[in-house]
Amino acid sequence: MQIYGDSISGNCLKVKWTADLLGIRYDWIETSVLDGSTRTDAYLAMNPAGQVPLVRYEDGRTLAQSNAIILSLAEGSALIPVDGYQRAKMLEWLFWEQYSHEPYVAVARFQVRYLGKAVADLDPRIVERGKGALKLLDGQLTGRAFLVGDAPTLADIALVAYTRVAHEGGFDLSDYPAVKAWVARVEAGLGIGLTR
């Protein structure tokens, strides 16, 4: 299996972390979003959307979209709750992450860290919604170790990917103590603390 990913991308890292946790063998193919690697004819033939991550299975089939990939990789593992309601709650967080968290926290980070924009020059709506997402997460994590149930799930992997580097977009995790403690717990428990 091949994973096409950019090491600066939380969406790509969550695929890597899931595969690593589950002991899935793969070849990592560094595919930069900054240098046009996702816009070549060869890459677009595999993923017409021109995005990373992308998995290419041994049989040649491809799968895009980070949360679809991690769901596929983790099928039948402890990272997906057996209980139907708990599984649905995990999916609820995966959908929320891509719609209400990543478009603000990750976008702010990308603009500041990789495009050189000042935090003060970010679109105020991005900052406001990013803070709102972190506040919601903080409320959910107050008094609990993980987002769903008593053990880490794909929801934790998906949401820690960009939350752990939110400070790079101007968000101060000290304002969200439950989130800050959860990030440390997930990093330590999943062995991803050194992947910054």
Average pLDDT value for the chain: 95
**pTM value?**
0.94
| pLDDT value of position 74 | 98
| pLDDT value of position 192 | 72
Question: pLDDT per residue over 20-69, tens digit each?
Answer: 999 999 999 999 989 999 999 999 999 999 999 999 999 999 999 999 99
Output the CA–CA distances (angstroms, integers) from residue 98 to 49, 114, 158, 159, 189, in the order listed: 16, 20, 9, 9, 23
Q: Measured on CA atoms in the order 36, 104, 144, 187, is the torsion positive or negative?
A: positive
Indicate the domain borders of the chain.
2-74, 84-190
3-state secondary structure of 62: strand
Fold agreement between 2-74 and 84-190 = no
Rounded distance between C-alpha atoms, residue 109 and residue 93, angstroms: 21
Domain spanning 84-190: which CATH class is it, in words? Answer: mainly alpha
Rounded distance between C-alpha atoms, residue 77 and residue 81, angstroms: 8
CATH architecture of 2-74: 3-Layer(aba) Sandwich (3.40)
**Does the pLDDT value for residue 191 go beyond 90?**
no
| pLDDT value of position 194 | 44
Question: pLDDT per residue over 89-118, tens digit each?
Answer: 999 999 999 999 999 999 999 999 999 999
